[in-house]
């Protein structure tokens, strides 16, 4: 069961008649499981799947590598079955989202204990201190975390350690856990090559890792203000500017949408799919009701210098799966008092566009990202 204490959630379980509890932690904002049972190496994959399907979380006390094997078995059981039915792209997307939600729920129910110092005290457990500090901060009391999430922090830490090359910057960046990694180069390359006059000030709205703000500065914009509503993104973007030697020219602010003042160029690459985010990490891609897109368009003219340009960078994925039409987008642009100067397109080159095993491969292969150059109408 779960209890809350000073807005902190605790999970409770019993082992051999003795009750125990620990603080629940989730870097992705997952709610604490309401039912927890202790399990060990004796549990089978089928039994684990039955428990998870009933919404029962399993707190592991056996060998760490055996827990990983059980998690792998759960992943296999939650993979979508081949579907040869003739379905519309909208139906395919709906089934994809259903499966993603189901998988996330099932895989998130295999838990491991983490003691003070970010240490998983299980046999053959790896050193996860650096990776989990990135995600959870320093842990000072007995806690319980999702094994699937922990493995995600390890993968993200490896990316952070290795760095992500950004061709437009001729450099690598090292994003924090919880920010959207710029592995899709299309939107970065568009901002790096779009016609640019000689702006004195640019805004990058929803900066994430700060990569677009860095590209603008690298192109010669003397001052850039980048904003984001997520503190993890702001910390990541500020570190990016320090690493690239751009911290004197790029200011990163924690704020919703716009900073004070007016800019000559305002850039925004909002989440491109108007659907519900299932986790904090999803929020970089999914924007329920297009709230950020609508908020950006509604307020951008109040922050644009006369004669300035708005660069809206947006994938047409939502159009391909029937969640938005091109007319919807153009009408929203017009209603905001803007007109289109030019639309610069970039076909999909990211890895998922060539992954034929992806249920949405046909959609991703035809995806186009557009930089809409806009001005006051």
Whether the CB-CB separation of 20 and 13 falls below 8 Å is answered with yes
Alpha-carbon span 368 to 349, nearest angstrom: 9
* Backbone dihedral region for residue 247 (phi beyond 0: left; psi -120 to 50: alpha; all else: beta): alpha
* Backbone dihedral region for residue 115 (phi beyond 0: left; psi -120 to 50: alpha; all else: beta): beta
pLDDT of 6 reads 46
pLDDT of 2 reads 56
C-alpha closest to that of 369 among 339, 340, 342, 348: 348
Confidence at 363, pLDDT banded by 50, 70, 90 = confident
Alpha-carbon span 309 to 311, nearest angstrom: 6
Whether the CB-CB separation of 145 and 111 falls below 8 Å is answered with yes
pLDDT of 359 reads 66
pLDDT of 309 reads 98
Cα dihedral 279, 269, 180, 236 sign = negative
pLDDT of 351 reads 66
pLDDT of 353 reads 64
**What is the DSSP-derived secondary structure letter of residue 32?**
P
CA angle 343, 376, 255 (to 5 degrees): 90
Q: What is the mean pLDDT of the chain?
A: 92
Buried/exposed 3-13: b ≥16 CB within 10 Å, e otherwise: eeeeeebbbeb
Mean pLDDT of 133-158: 94
The yes-or-no verdict on residue 357 having pLDDT over 50 is yes
DSSP 248-270: TTEEEEESSS--SS-EEEEEE--
The tens digit of pLDDT for each residue in 101-143 reads 999 999 999 999 999 999 998 999 999 999 999 899 999 999 9
C-alpha closest to that of 113 among 18, 6, 23, 240: 23
| Residue scoring higher pLDDT (1 or 149) | 149
Mean pLDDT of 261-286: 88
3-state secondary structure of 310: strand
Q: How are strands ordered across the β-sheet holding 223-228?
A: 250-254, 223-228, 201-205, 263-268, 304-315, 368-376, 338-347
The tens digit of pLDDT for each residue in 51-105 reads 999 999 999 999 999 999 999 999 999 988 777 777 888 888 888 888 889 999 9
The yes-or-no verdict on residue 165 having pLDDT over 80 is yes
Alpha-carbon span 68 to 28, nearest angstrom: 20
The yes-or-no verdict on residue 235 having pLDDT over 70 is yes
The tens digit of pLDDT for each residue in 167-224 reads 999 999 999 888 888 778 899 999 999 999 999 999 999 999 999 999 999 999 999 9
pLDDT of 354 reads 66
- In terms of Cβ atoms closer than 10 Å to its own Cβ (0-12, 13-18, 19+), residue 347 is exposed
Percent of the chain with pLDDT over 70: 96
Q: Which of 10-14, 64-68, 270-274 has the lowest mean pLDDT?
A: 270-274
pLDDT of 9 reads 93
pLDDT of 35 reads 96
DSSP 174-214: -PPTTS-----HHHHHHHHHS-----SEEEEES-TTSHHHH
CA angle 84, 365, 269 (to 5 degrees): 125
Put simply, whether the predicted model's pTM sits higher than 0.75 gets the answer yes
H or E, element range at 92: helix 89-107
pLDDT of 207 reads 96
The yes-or-no verdict on residue 278 having pLDDT over 80 is no
Cα dihedral 279, 282, 287, 288 sign = negative
Alpha-carbon span 57 to 75, nearest angstrom: 15
Who contacts 45 (Cβ-Cβ below 8 Å, separation ≥6)?
70, 73, 74, 77
């Amino acid at each position: 069961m779960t209890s809350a204490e000073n807005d902190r959630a605790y999970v409770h379980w019993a082992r051999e008649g003795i009750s125990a509890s620990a603080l629940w932690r989730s870097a992705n904002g997952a709610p604490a499981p309401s039912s927890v049972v202790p399990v060990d190496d004796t549990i089978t994959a089928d039994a684990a799947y039955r428990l998870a399907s009933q919404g029962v979380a399993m707190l592991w006390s056996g060998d760490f590598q055996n827990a990983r094997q059980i998690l792998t078995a759960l992943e296999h059981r939650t993979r979508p079955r081949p579907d040869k039915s003739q379905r519309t792209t909208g139906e395919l997307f709906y089934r994809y989202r259903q499966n993603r939600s189901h998988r996330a729920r099932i895989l998130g129910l295999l838990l491991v204990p983490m003691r003070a110092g970010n240490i998983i005290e299980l046999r053959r457990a790896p050193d996860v201190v650096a990776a989990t500090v990135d995600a959870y901060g320093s842990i000072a009391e007995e806690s319980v975390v999702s094994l699937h999430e922990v493995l995600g922090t390890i993968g993200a830490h490896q990316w952070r350690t290795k760095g992500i090359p950004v061709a437009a910057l001729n450099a690598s960046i090292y994003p924090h856990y919880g920010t959207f990694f710029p592995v899709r180069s299309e939107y970065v390359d568009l901002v790096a090559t779009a016609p640019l006059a000689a702006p004195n000030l640019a805004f990058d709205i929803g900066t994430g890792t700060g990569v677009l703000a860095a590209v603008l500065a690298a192109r010669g914009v003397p001052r850039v203000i980048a904003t984001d509503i997520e503190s993890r993104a702001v910390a990541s973007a500020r570190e990016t500017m320090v690493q690239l030697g751009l911290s004197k020219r790029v200011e990163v602010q924690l704020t919703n949408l716009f900073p004070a003042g007016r800019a000559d160029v305002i850039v925004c690459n909002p989440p491109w799919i108007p659907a519900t985010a299932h986790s904090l990490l999803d929020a970089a891609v999914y924007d329920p009701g297009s709230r950020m897109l609508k908020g950006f368009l509604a307020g951008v003219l109040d922050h644009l210098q006369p004669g300035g340009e708005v660069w809206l960078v947006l994938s047409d994925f939502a159009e391909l799966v029937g969640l938005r039409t091109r007319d919807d987008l153009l009408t929203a642009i017009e209603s905001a008092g803007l007109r289109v100067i030019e639309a610069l397109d970039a076909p999909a080159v990211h890895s998922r566009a060539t992954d034929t095993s992806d249920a949405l491969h046909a959609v991703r292969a035809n995806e186009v990202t557009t930089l809409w150059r806009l001005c006051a109408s």
